[in-house]
Amino acid sequence: MGRFGTWLQRAAGRSPSTNKTVRVTDTLYEYVIAQSVVESDVQRALRLETAKQAEADMQIGPDQGQVLRFLVSLLGVENAIEVGVFTGYSALCIASALPDHGRLLACDVSETWTGIGKPFWTAAGVADRIDLRIGPARDTLDQVLISDGEGQFDFAFIDADKTNYATYYEQCLQLLRPGGLMAFDNMLWGGSVADATRMDPDTAALRDLSATLKSDPRVEYCLLTVGDGVGLVRKR
């Protein structure tokens, strides 16, 4: 049988934990930020300004901003979509990784929140790359499908009202080119998606979407334990 066969026999009798994810303490999280995140002064300033707001928990963390910049750069994204801008930190991260001729279609319903980010976009020299549309994202995406047609975008980041994630998914899937990538924030929703007793509309919507993404033959799906859970969807 040999040593490998003996190892297989021993392993078959074990029940090891499949959870290999390290527990992220505050100290370890600060280590990750210090070792991997590279922010411009403007990006850091906007993040700190957002932290003063009562709704600061809606903002992605600097590690997620780093992931967005990394993905946009890796894919050579020229045309991107963001659904849910808030104060514009994530938009700034994405736009800063676009080429000079790149475009970010940024959808939000609040002029107040997005107004906080605008001066920072200007200070960073990327305001001309961000096409901010104020209004329901469903309407904006429908309009862009008519005006631009399908398959014209390389990347989409969705971080808005959870009960409409499934709608944004279908719209952005049409707008993405084959091989394009979609990222969803809050896919773990504080862990509530794994609690079968939690059936509030947001939790149920996220749980249902994750099941849809896993089984949808049009895409490949990967769920990461970054931040509050980042779901990545690659269009086939």
Mean pLDDT of 194-219: 97
Assess whether pLDDT exceeds 50 at residue 7. no
Mean pLDDT of 128-136: 98
| Integer CA distances (angstroms), 192 to 9, 89, 197, 226, in order | 37, 26, 9, 15
Assess whether pLDDT exceeds 90 at residue 125. yes
Instruction: Output the pTM of the full model.
Output: 0.92
How many angstroms separate the CA atoms of 210 and 70, rounded? 23
Mean pLDDT of 86-101: 98
| Integer CA distances (angstroms), 116 to 47, 50, 132, 194, 234, in order | 11, 8, 13, 35, 32
The three-state secondary structure class of 2 is: helix
- For 166, the token pair is 């499934």
Q: What is the pLDDT of residue 17?
A: 74
Assess whether pLDDT exceeds 90 at residue 236. yes
pLDDT digits (tens, 9 = 90+) for 81-91: 999 999 999 99
Mean pLDDT of 51-70: 96
Q: Please name the residues in contact with 232: beta carbons below 8 A apart, sequence gap of 6 or more.
A: 181, 182, 183, 184, 221, 222, 223, 224
